Amino acid sequence: MSFQPAHISEVQTPALVIDGAIARQNIATMAASIPGTRLRPHMKATKCTALAREQVRAGHTTFTCATPREVVGMIKAGVGNDLLLANESVDAIRLQEMAALQDSALITVAIDSDETLHAAHVAGIQHVLIDVNVGLPRCGIAPELAGQLADKARARGKTVRGVMGYEGHLMMVAENSERLAKVESCMALLRAAAHDVGGDIISAGGTGTYNLHSNTGVTEIQAGSYSLMDTQYAQLGLPFAQAVFVFGTVISSNAQWAVVDVGLKSLGMDHGNPSIDGHAVWFCSDEHTTFSPNEGAPPKVGTRIRVTPAHIDPTVAQHEAAWVVSGDDIVDRWAIDLRGW
């Protein structure tokens, strides 16, 4: 696309729009609370090296990635010096691509089984982290087996940097004290595993629990969504503001409802419908969202509408780029350059 808009009214829609000042404020708020390498920002939420550069400016130098493409893309963009693939892989080609970049940055790959250790070893990956299951039924070895896997890794010459354990099932526990207590129970499992594994790193947490780890023994937090936020995390009353929207244009309107050109292909839908301030969202279609105002008449055709996604991660991943605004002026274009796998 060669057209470069100068004002938000000129943006072609649907468009991912980031309020740069709000995103930077979110990043500054987090950096004040979890500074430097205490935070390992997660790239899966934003998939954008330009945004990661803002996190580097705020003092973070270590990053979490969910896919090999994120790791490789960060290194090729020269962002970060310590990249953790916080996910398992047995893809020989992609592991080799990462291994070939080990002179450019410290690359660490999570393992949770003999097979993932073997794949990392064969590919020539030097640094590994033991992924420990702390309650979320997903990846991670049982805590009591973590030490054995670390021993096997060391026996094959690997450097074992420590453990990670993602308490993802607790991110949306609504009541703060309950969330804190449950996080502590999970982290007791992770500390026990860390004792058996050794190494310097105990990595855990996310945007929903970033501030509940003061006494958990965790050395670093993997939060990512905090920089842009979404309507689900907004329910937790966190000190981060909504910095991203999908900007749309009303393309049809009548006395009862209007339709904006933001749909299933520009929104992550696993957390449900998006929101539109002052309006009720009826439903989303491939390229449309039907909605009606809480008061008054529906907006006319051509009206620009901010649609707020329910889940930021899969929303961002559907866009080629985000327009960065300062007020209503377009000040930058950030490629979502870490999409894919």
- The residue ranges that bind its own copies (CB under 8 A) are 3, 12-14, 44, 66-67, 87-91, 93-94, 112-113, 115-116, 133, 137-140, 142, 168, 249, 251-254, 256-257, 259, 261, 264-266, 268-270, 282, 284-288, 290, 300-302, 311, 313-314, 317-318, 320, 339-341
| Rounded least distance, CB 32 to its own copies, Å | 27
Tokens at 301, concatenated: 């055709």
* 52, 222, 240 from 45: Cα distances, Å: 11, 11, 15
β-sheet with 62-65: strand ranges across: 62-65, 82-85, 106-111, 127-131, 159-165, 201-204, 220-221
Closer residue to its own copies (CB): 31 or 130: 130
Q: Which residue has the tokens 């691509």?
A: 97
- Which contacts qualify for 113-119: CB closer than 8 Å, 24 or more apart? 113/88, 113/141, 113/149, 114/149, 114/152, 115/90, 116/88, 116/89, 116/90, 117/149, 117/152, 117/153, 117/156, 117/158, 119/89, 119/90, 119/91, 119/92, 119/95
| Rounded least distance, CB 93 to its own copies, Å | 6
| Rounded least distance, CB 18 to its own copies, Å | 18
| Rounded least distance, CB 302 to its own copies, Å | 5
Closer residue to its own copies (CB): 93 or 237: 93
* 17, 122, 281 from 285: Cα distances, Å: 21, 45, 12
| Rounded least distance, CB 3 to its own copies, Å | 6
Closer residue to its own copies (CB): 38 or 288: 288
How large is the greatest C-alpha to C-alpha distance in the chain, in angstroms? 71
| Rounded least distance, CB 137 to its own copies, Å | 5
Separation between Cα atoms, residue 208 and residue 197, nearest integer Å: 27
Tokens at 271, concatenated: 């957390």
Residues 6+ apart with CB under 8 A from 155: none
**CA-based nearest residue to 28, from 243, 322, 240:** 240
Closer residue to its own copies (CB): 139 or 212: 139
* Contact (Cβ atoms closer than 8 angstroms) between residue 122 and residue 115: no
Please, what is the angle between helix 176-197 and helix 146-155, to 10°? 40
Residues 6+ apart with CB under 8 A from 294: 278, 279, 280
Closer residue to its own copies (CB): 177 or 286: 286
| Rounded least distance, CB 315 to its own copies, Å | 10
Closer residue to its own copies (CB): 31 or 279: 279
Residue 239: asked if its preceding bond is cis (omega within 30°), the reply is no
Closer residue to its own copies (CB): 21 or 192: 192
| Rounded least distance, CB 44 to its own copies, Å | 5
| Rounded least distance, CB 321 to its own copies, Å | 10
Single-letter amino acid code for the residue at 263: G
